[in-house]
Amino acid sequence: MEKLRVGVVGFGGIFNGAHKGTWKTTTKAQIVAVCDINPEKLKKAKLEFPSINTYTDYKEMIDTEHLDIVDICTPNYMHSPIACYALDNGCHTFCEKPDAVDVEAAIRMKEAQERSGKVLMVMRNNRHLGSSQMLKKMIADGEFGEIYTGRCGWIRKRGIPGKGGWFTTKAQSGGGPLIDLGVHMIDLALYMMGNPKPVSVVGSTYCKFANDEEESDSVHANFGEKVEGGTFDVEDLATGFIKFENGASLQIEFSWASNIERETRFVELRGTKKGAKWERGTFTLYDGKKNCKIKDLLFRGKQLVSSVDGHGGNLRHFLDVVTEGAKPDYVIDQGIDMIKILCAIYESAKTGKEVQL
C-alpha cells in the first residue's frame, strides 16, 4: 500500500514531543510537508525530514501537496480555521486539543467534517493509555454499577506554560488552565462516565500568579515559548461544577500555579458498586469492604503497568479509522460539548451565575 501523504502545521513542542515518533514509525503514512510561520522551525524540520517541502502558509501547503492527512499542532485559535480548510480540501484531519477556542468555531469544524465526509479527530491522549482502556472496560462490564458523581483536576504548584506567549494570551489560547488542562481531565471523566449530556455549569476563575517569579516544578509545563513582558490575560486557576442530563455531576479544578503540596492530576469516579481514582496513568479501586485499599486482582503488584504512549495510541487509532474504517472513539459532537462546558464556565465566572447549556 502506498503511504498516505501527511502535512504538518506547527513544528513546535507537541509535534516534536508527541507526534513525530508515530509519523516516523508508522508504515501507513509519511510526512511530505511541514508548515510553520517561524522559518527557524522550518530549518529544523528540513534537517530532520530532508525530503519534505516546507511552507509558511498552510493554505499554500494544502493547495500544493495533494495531502491525504493534515496534522494540526498550532496554537489553539488556529485549530478550527486550519481544520476547516483541510477538510474542505479533501484531507483527513487530526488536530491537537482543545478542539477550538469557542463553540462557533467547533461547530464550523463539524460542518466542514460533514461537508467533506473525511475523518476529523482531536487529540484525547489520556483515553489511549492502557490504564484508561482497562478502567473503561471494567465500567462497561458493569463493575462500577451506576457512576453518579466524580471529581477531576490537574492542579500544579508552579507550572505556567510559555508565560507571556500564546498560552497566556486569551485571544490565541481561549483561556488558561481550564481550557489547557481541563480538556484533558474533563474528557477522561466524561469518557469513563459514557459521555453524558452536560446541562449546566457554575465556575470561578482567578489570576494570582501572573507576576510570580518562582521556577516551574512541573515537567508538564515546558510547552510554548516565554515572551518577556508579554500578555497574561487568562486565569491561572479555575474551579467548577458540571451537571448532566442523567443526574450525574462532576467537580473540577485546574491550576497552573497554586500554593499546594505538589502537582496532582486525577479523575475520581464514584459508582454504586465501586469507585476509582485514576492518577497519571495508574488507577486504584475502592469499595465499602476494603475501604480505600488498592484491589490487586487486575494489577501487577499494587499498580497497573500499562502502555504509556497515549498520544501515539491516539494517532495510531486515527490512522486505523482512516485506513481500515475502524470505529472512531471520538466524534466532533463530543468536542462541541467540551467547548460548550469550558466556555460556559468562563461565562459563569464572569457573571457569578449558573449557566444553562
Ligand X SMILES: NC(=O)c1ccc[n+]([C@@H]2O[C@H](COP(=O)([O-])OP(=O)(O)OC[C@H]3O[C@@H](n4cnc5c(N)ncnc54)[C@H](O)[C@@H]3O)[C@@H](O)[C@H]2O)c1
We find the least distance from the C-beta atom of residue 49 to ligand X, in angstroms, to be 15
CB count within 10 Å of CB 39 equals: 9
- Pairing relationship of beta strands 147-155 and 249-255 according to DSSP bridges: parallel
Does the footprint of ligand X cover residue 37 (CB under 6 A)? yes
- Shortest CB 180 distance to ligand X, Å: 6
CA 256 to CA 216: how far, in whole Å?
A: 9
Least spacing, CB of residue 156 vs ligand X, in Å = 14
177 makes contact with ligand X (CB under 6 A): no
- Candidate list 65, 96, 99, 236; residue touching ligand X; CB under 6 A: 96
Q: Which stretch binds ligand X (CB under 6 A): 73-81, 105-113, 290-298, 300-308?
A: 73-81
Q: Which is nearer to ligand X, 172 or 246 (CB)?
A: 172
Q: Name which of 170 and 295 has its Cβ closer to ligand X.
A: 170
DSSP characters over 56-106: S-HHHHHHHH--SEEEE-S-GGGHHHHHHHHHHTT-EEEEPSSS-SSHHHH
Number of residues in contact with ligand X under rule CB under 6 A: 24
| Cβ-proximal residues to 231 (8 Å cutoff; 6+ apart), any chain | 164, 168, 169
Rg (CA), the chain: 20
* Part of the chain binding ligand X (CB under 6 A), chosen from 195-203, 217-225, 277-285, 339-347: 217-225
Rank residues 15 and 144 by Cβ distance to ligand X and give the closer one: 15
Does 11 engage in binding with ligand X (CB under 6 A)? yes
188 grid coordinates: 477522561
**Residue 179 CA to chain centroid, in angstroms?**
9
Please give the grid coordinates belonging to residue 225.
515559548
Q: Is there binding between residue 227 and ligand X (CB under 6 A)?
A: no
DSSP state for residue 326 in the 8-state scheme:
P
Give the C-alpha separation, 212 to 231, whole Å: 14
Q: Closer CB to ligand X, residue 147 or residue 185?
A: 185
- How far is 180 from 220, CA to CA, in rounded Å? 11
Nearer to ligand X, 20 or 243 (CB): 20
Contact residues for ligand X, defined by CB under 6 A: 9-14, 35-38, 41, 58, 73-76, 78, 96-97, 123, 125, 223-225
